[in-house]
Amino acid sequence: MNDIIILEYFTSKSNIALENKKIFLEAVSLTENIIKSFLLNKNVSKVFFIQNSKLDILNHKRLFKIYTNKNNSVVSILKKLPKKNVVFIAPEIMNISSNFQKKISKFLPLRHSDIKINETFSSKERTIQFLKKNCINHIGKAKKYKGKFVIKPIYGAGSLAVRISCKYSFRKTEIIQDYMTGIKGSFSMLCKNKKFVLISCNKQIVKIFGDNIIQKGIIVGGLENERSEIKSLAKKICNATEGFFGLIGVDIIKQNKKWHVLEINPRFTSSYNGILECYGKKTIHQITYLYLTKNLILDEPKLLKTKKIIFS
């Protein structure tokens, strides 16, 4: 039997301030689904979950909650926990994910991609450099000084603070790219170093409000008809990368009949909320089995149904 520790950045904070309620609610939903997945695995004896004492997140006889509050921080808890493997989730905003990984690794073993992977793909600047170096189709920096542009934070997550501009003007903390129209999607792959299984192919629901680009939701399994091409792209990314482990999310856009990479996120992403319903218990077991044993089952998932998820 195995034990696992689940640690999510927002829900584990000792003081919760809802600067962005949308992101926080998405974090709660994702965390609940991750916990449920490990509880479905009969080889799991205990799931330890570090959470703020004011939150009400699930109850189960195999779920053991450890509470943070103003007198009990995440770090103080990490020092006292048994030496069990940690699955953690944190956003790339302001380089939070990399810093969180470094903090946890001082006290407990992690089931996560290498820190160098996290540092590279937390930065959109370094992600573009990686993709260019390895000749992987991607949307790089703007190639001209006139036209329509998309401006993003270098350390950002999802569509947060992403805007459209007709001026070639941006801050040092941002990157500027040519505005592209095309089908937006994402895929998740389960990785161990250069071996991978393509888990889901998803269509993103994106809306434009004034100068802002907002991802309103996702259709999990909505790009299964593109699986073959997406799998080729996933293979190129994995072949060029050392140190991937676990679920990796990749944002993509179709331009000139080819898929191009926008972002690579070495973590659980919002599409995970539909994996059980869309791809079944066998795929969920495949995912949790890797985190528990470090063994990758190479079976290709089969789509049962698509699911539209609208973000709060």
Please provide the distance, in angstroms rounded to a whole number, between the alpha carbons at the two ends of the chain.
37
Residue 18: the pLDDT is: 63
Q: What mean pLDDT comes out for the span 270-286?
A: 98
Residue 22: the pLDDT is: 77
Q: Which residues of 154-193 are buried (b: 16+ CB within 10 A; e: fewer)?
A: bbbbbbbebbeeeeeebeeebbbbebeeeebbbbbbbbbe
Mean model confidence pLDDT for the chain: 95
pLDDT digits (tens, 9 = 90+) for 24-42: 889 999 999 999 999 999 9
Tokens of 94: 């302001």
Does the pLDDT of residue 113 top 80, yes or no?
A: yes
Residue 262: helix, strand or coil by DSSP?
strand
Does the pLDDT of residue 1 top 80, yes or no?
A: no
Does the pLDDT of residue 158 top 90, yes or no?
A: no
pLDDT digits (tens, 9 = 90+) for 205-228: 999 999 999 999 999 999 999 999
CA distance 263 to 186: 9
Q: Which residues of 221-245 are buried (b: 16+ CB within 10 A; e: fewer)?
A: bbbbebbebbbebbebbbeebebbb
CA distance 174 to 153: 4
98 pLDDT tier (thresholds 50, 70, 90): very high
159 pLDDT tier (thresholds 50, 70, 90): confident
Handedness of CA 95, 204, 260, 166 (dihedral sign): negative
Q: At residue 31, what is the residue type?
A: T
CATH architecture designation of domain 2-112: 3-Layer(aba) Sandwich (3.40)
Residue extent(s) of CATH 3.40.50.11770 domains in the chain: 2-112
Residue extent(s) of CATH 3.30.470.20 domains in the chain: 121-137+180-310
Q: What mean pLDDT comes out for the span 69-94?
A: 94
Q: What mean pLDDT comes out for the span 123-149?
A: 95
Residue 20: the pLDDT is: 67
CA distance 82 to 113: 22
By residue count, the chain amounts to: 312
Q: At residue 281, what is the residue type?
A: K
Rg (CA), the chain: 19
E-strand spans in the chain?
Answer: 2-8, 44-52, 63-68, 86-89, 149-153, 163-165, 174-178, 184-192, 195-209, 212-220, 245-255, 258-265, 307-310
CA dist 282 → 31, 41, 145, 275, 303 (Å): 20, 10, 50, 10, 11
Residue 89: the pLDDT is: 97
pLDDT digits (tens, 9 = 90+) for 230-242: 999 999 999 999 9
Q: What mean pLDDT comes out for the span 139-157?
A: 91
3-state helix, strand, coil in the chain (%, to 5): 30, 30, 35
CA distance 45 to 66: 16
**In terms of DSSP H, where are the helices of 115-184?**
115-122, 124-133
Residue 157 near residue 91 (C-beta atoms within 8 A): yes
Residues facing 185 on adjacent strands: 203, 252
52 pLDDT tier (thresholds 50, 70, 90): very high
| pLDDT top residue among 18 and 253 | 253
CATH architecture designation of domain 121-137+180-310: 2-Layer Sandwich (3.30)
Residue 21: the pLDDT is: 78
Residue 130: helix, strand or coil by DSSP?
helix
Residue 15: the pLDDT is: 87
Residue 306: the pLDDT is: 98
Residue 51: the pLDDT is: 96
CA distance 33 to 213: 27
